Structure formats: C-alpha cells, structure tokens
C-alpha cells in the first residue's frame, strides 16, 4: 500500500513510520501544518522534519504554508473546539493531495499522541475519507508514543514544548507560571 502520511512533527513521526514500514507499507510524508506559530517555531519543526526524512530516506512532500492569519481567524470563531477545525483542515488537505497524487490511502502522525482528541481524529479522518473518496488508514499508534519520544530525544531531534497554535503556547506557559 502506498500511504501519504500527514506529519505533524518529526518526533511524532519516528515510531509511526517504523510501525508502518514494518507492515511493508510504503510511506511518503506530507507536511501541511498552518496551525504552528510563531514563524520561528514553524521553521524549526519543518527543518527538523526535512533533516530527519533525509536520514531515514523518507520521501517528503512539503506544502509550505504558514497560516497564522487564516488559522487564528478560524480558531477564534470557536476557541474551545478549535482542535476539531485544526484536524479537519490538515486531514482534508492531506486527503486531497493523496487522491491527486495516486496514493492508496492517507493517515496522520497525530494518531500517536495521547494529548490529541484521538476519537475525534478518527471520526474526522473517516468523514473526510468519504468526502474526498480515498481510504483513511487508521491505527492507534499511542502505545508507541513514549518509545518514539525517547528515540527522538536520543537522536536528538528538535522537541517542541507545545502543541502548535499560539493558543496552545499560551495554555502551556500560563499554566506553568501560575
């Protein structure tokens, strides 16, 4: 199977790719993360993925769009539920790209994170699959999360401190400073 794998960041990709490759799935990475702010953080994460992809010979397609204005406008419409819109945005773009480029299915490394709304991710992936007309590859990678983070730290890969959007950065540090 030829799979287009949306990659949210290099550390989350480590074990997801390893697990997929072990099943003889041919993985191509896809970068599309307009949710990551500010720009220096966006660049750090993208550069880390570029370097890591080379080191493991992972083909990588890059949709280099820094979406601060578009994303924050969307998120401010419903801040509490912004993650659902964030999943929709990234998975839809990945599904469209996968279909255009002739992949068999699409998926996302977000499925490895215990910090994401896993069931919502699955529902969103399946809904988009029906909408765009390409299978969504679902696997619960969460049991591999700690191992992946440890491997990423050991390499070392750039490790981010918050999910991605400027609102998650505020949540991370405001809570910490209380």
Give the interface with ligand SF4 as residue ranges (CB under 6 A).
Answer: 35, 82-83, 86, 163-165, 167-168
Cα–Cα distance measured from residue 16 to residue 127, given in angstroms and rounded to the nearest whole number: 22
What's the CA gap between 91 and 95, in Å, rounded? Answer: 6
Nearest-CA neighbor of 139 among 152, 121, 127?
A: 121
The least CB distance from residue 153 to ligand SF4, in Å, is: 21
Q: Which is nearer to ligand SF4, 15 or 163 (CB)?
A: 163
Q: Which CB, 3 or 165, lies closer to ligand SF4?
A: 165
Distance separating alpha carbons of residues 59 and 22, to the nearest angstrom: 17
For ligand SF4, the closer CB: 37 or 103: 37
Q: Are 91 and 111 in contact (CB under 8 A)?
A: no
Q: How far is the CB of 82 from ligand SF4 (least distance, A)?
A: 4
Q: How far is the CB of 116 from ligand SF4 (least distance, A)?
A: 6
**Residue number, 128 or 163, with CB nearest to ligand SF4:** 163
- Nearest residue (CB) to ligand SF4, 49 versus 163: 163
Shortest Å distance, C-beta 35 to ligand SF4: 4
**Cα distance from N-terminal residue to C-terminal residue, the chain:** 48
Tokens of 44: 């750090």
Q: In what order do the strands lie in the sheet with 105-108?
A: 60-62, 26-31, 2-6, 105-108
Q: How far is the CB of 114 from ligand SF4 (least distance, A)?
A: 13
* Residues 132 and 96: beta-carbon distance below 8 Å: yes
């Amino acid at each position: 199977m030829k799979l287009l794998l949306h990659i949210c960041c290099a550390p989350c990709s480590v074990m997801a790719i390893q697990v997929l490759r072990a099943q003889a799935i041919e993985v191509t990475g896809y970068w599309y993360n307009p949710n990551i702010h500010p720009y220096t953080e966006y660049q750090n994460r993208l550069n880390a993925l570029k370097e890591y992809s080379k080191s493991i010979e992972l083909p990588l397609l890059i949709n280099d769009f820094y979406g601060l204005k578009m994303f924050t406008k969307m998120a401010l419409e419903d801040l509490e539920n912004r993650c659902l819109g964030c999943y929709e945005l990234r998975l839809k773009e990945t599904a469209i790209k996968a279909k255009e480029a002739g992949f068999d299915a699409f998926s996302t490394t977000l499925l490895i994170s215990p910090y994401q709304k896993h069931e919502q991710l699955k529902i969103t992936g399946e809904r988009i699959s029906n909408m765009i007309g390409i299978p969504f590859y679902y696997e619960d990678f969460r049991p591999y999360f700690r191992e992946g983070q440890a491997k990423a730290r050991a390499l070392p890969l750039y490790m981010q401190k918050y999910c991605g959007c400027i609102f998650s950065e505020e949540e991370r540090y405001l809570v910490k400073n209380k």
